[in-house]
Amino acid sequence: MPLHHRVAIVTGGASGIGRATVLRFLREGARVAIWDVQRERGSALEAECRQQGLPARFFDVNTADYAAVEVAAQQTADHFGQIDILINNAGITRDATLKKMTHEQWDQVIAVNLTGVFNCTKAVCPYLEARGWGRIITAASVVGLYGNFGQTNYAATKAGVIAMTKVWAKELGRKGITANAVAPGFIQTEMMDTLPEKVLQMMQEKAPVGRLGTTDEVAAVYAFLASDEAAFINGTVISVDGGLTL
């Protein structure tokens, strides 16, 4: 298995793309730490995995809280014996136009989507350095590359994590650690289920492939970037968007 003997942390791993990533990594032979604030969902996913004999463990972690992240990193290392891969997947949206966006909405998204990524990477990096091997893979978005109406805060964070990824690629490459970002387009998640049918149809028509992406398709790219086969890919952003931005 491509990820056999590897230990991965997946933030925001209890639902959506994160959940798909947890299950994909387990199928690839990894042991997985599920970091999330959704206690009920995280615990249920851990139980589901254990019933199938899959080595997953849920940790209740607010990635915006650096002290909590440090504790979770130590607990993960103690439980699994090592950390090899960090998937910075956790993220939130608080959409509004610039005129209507509140400072609270701005601060909430910055705290999770940008500061949270910094917190997790800073806390986990020493464990990767100690092993002389590591993968840091961060969820960006096509919004971070091209912008989107009503998402000043979200777009700023996703552009920010792309820039941080490029810095980490330069700083950590010689230590055996690569850093890359994945920029999904319109992906079929629970959030999409709340949108009007007309909006969903518009999203599908925008992409040349004529459909929304799946969480499994994003998870597959995460898994590839985490593998030995991707060892020479460093500091890049891979769009998983069906050609949306062409």
Helix (H, G, I), strand (E, B) or coil at 57: strand
User: At 223, phi and psi to the nearest 5?
Assistant: -65, -40
Helix and strand numbers (H, E) in the chain are 10, 7
Q: Please, where are the H alpha helices in the chain?
A: 16-27, 39-51, 66-80, 103-109, 116-131, 142-146, 152-172, 190-193, 197-206, 215-226
Neighbours of 16 (CB within 10 A): 19
Please answer whether residues 137 and 181 qualify as being in contact, where contact means their C-beta atoms are separated by less than 8 angstroms: yes
* Token pair listed for 124: 């986990």
Neighbours of 194 (CB within 10 A): 8
What number of CA atoms fall less than 13 Å from residue 106's CA on the CB side?
Answer: 9
Residue 214 class from Cβ within 10 Å (0-12 exposed, 13-18 middle, 19+ buried)?
middle
* Token pair listed for 125: 């990096």
Q: Is 146 a catalytic residue?
A: no
Catalytic-role residue among 66, 127, 146, 154: 154
Residues classed as catalytic: 154
